[in-house]
Amino acid sequence: MTRVLVANRGEIAVRIVAACRRLGFEAVLAASSADADSLAARLADRVLVIGPPQPSLSYLRPELLVQAAVMAGADVLHPGYGFCSEKVELGEMLDEAGIALAGPRPDTLRSVGDKNTARAVAVAAGVPVAAGAEVKDLDGAVHAAREIGYPVLLKAVHGGGGRGIHLVEHEDQLPTLVDQAAAEARAGFGDGALYLEKFFAAARHVEVQVFGDGEGGCVVAGDRDCSVQRRHQKLVEECPAPGIGPATRALLHDSARRLVSHLRYRGAGTVEFLVDTTSDPASATEPATVVFLEVNARIQVEHPVTEEAFGIDLVAAQLRLAAGLHHGLPDLPAVPPAHVIECRITSEDPAADFRPTPGRITAVEWPRGPGVRIDTHVHEGYLFPPYYDSLLAKVIVRAHDREAAVDGMLAALRATRVEGVSTVTPVHEAVLSHPDFRAGGVTTQWLPAAWPPPLEEAPR
């Protein structure tokens, strides 16, 4: 029997264990002491405690994860998302130990692991990119910004998850923001390298789900719109991206496929793009301006949107490929037969600038019914810890068209009850109720139009 070490926590650990069950694989969980009695631990066949609650002493230590995999006699390690999922060192250590990674090869992770090298790979593959440049110091940033033209985005080269990004509208902001961004990059990613990129003020964030066979073959599993964002963090995702015409969709999908083939990419990944709405994304004949953002060389938080839209299991496909089997994914149409929306329910207080609210979950009730999926690790009585991200659950709704999916999600949100901690459910209700969102095609700068709402219109 194939044995899998699940090297993560929370809802994604529960999701990986479920995929192991589906395949008949054994699941061993590598958990911190804070997660030793979590839902994932209860569902797994075995649990190995790898360290204390602090991620820097447990989940972020690739050597501890590999030691656990060796101790467990694992054939495959699945890293989930976040933590060590894109660490080259983890893949290299697993190669030395003779254990398969449910993810890309170390050389691929190195190629797309920072914004500079990823951009170079995209250019080599013929993928459209925005004007940009790595900057070493303030003088370099000033010169590059003048060449690119304001406004620009200042980013950590090794950043991810929306962190370490600053908008620079005028040159006099650069001295402060370069120092601040470099300090954040060193603290968050261990490297203060920075990157400047052209900022598109009216852009949508559209990503393409890919799955590579490691030999240049690629399954493109549609696209997702992730434009509802707060501080570059995604709140709502949907598949397919609304208001995208055949020409722009073909450019997005073909660009992602070229990149996967060029890299000989192995496993699940996401190629992220900006779509400039000053051109016409809905045109049937002329594509909008599309520029490459980055490759997420792992499973994404929002992968259930694609799974429900196409009726596939991306996590099981990852495990199958890592175990030496065919991934089992079929060829898929460009547009799925259903429309799916996901809302990330986090333990944050939107009335207090989204302050995290860890604590005891005293009551919880999730929506049920046809087309409703809940990915979560929380339950009544669960002590939501302060050490990790604030994701409580993902509410996913599938319907025959977008209007029905929006209505279904609103009903699902209103049926959701979590007590003991604050959640962002009111924000999602405001977004889903807003006429702009219902019309489709909002940009990454849109959210302040919906939240906070006028007091007289505030949702319950």
> Which burial class, exposed, middle or buried, applies to 337 when counting CB atoms under 10 A from its CB (0-12, 13-18, 19+)?
exposed
Amino acid type, 282: A
> Which residues fall within 8 angstroms of residue 56, CB to CB, at 6 or more apart?
none
Q: Are strands 339-346 and 233-239 parallel, antiparallel or unpaired?
A: antiparallel
> Which residues fall within 8 angstroms of residue 294, CB to CB, at 6 or more apart?
112, 115, 118, 160, 272
Amino acid type, 285: T
**DSSP characters over 45-68:** SEEEEEE-SSGGGTTT-HHHHHHH
State the greatest distance between any 2 C-alpha atoms of the chain, in Å, as a whole number.
62
The answer to whether residues 297 and 112 touch, using CB atoms and an 8 Å cutoff, is: yes
The answer to whether residues 374 and 439 touch, using CB atoms and an 8 Å cutoff, is: no
What gap in Å lies between CA 11 and CA 23, rounded to an integer?
19
Provide the sign of the torsion angle of the four alpha carbons 23, 25, 28, 30, taken in this order. Answer: negative
Q: Does 298 qualify as catalytic in the annotation?
A: yes
Active-site residue among 105, 204, 298, 320?
298
| Half-sphere exposure of residue 253: CA atoms within 13 angstroms, side-chain side | 20
| Half-sphere exposure of residue 183: CA atoms within 13 angstroms, side-chain side | 6
- Reference 418, options 367, 375, 356, 343; nearest CA is 367
What gap in Å lies between CA 239 and CA 273, rounded to an integer?
15
Catalytic residues: 298
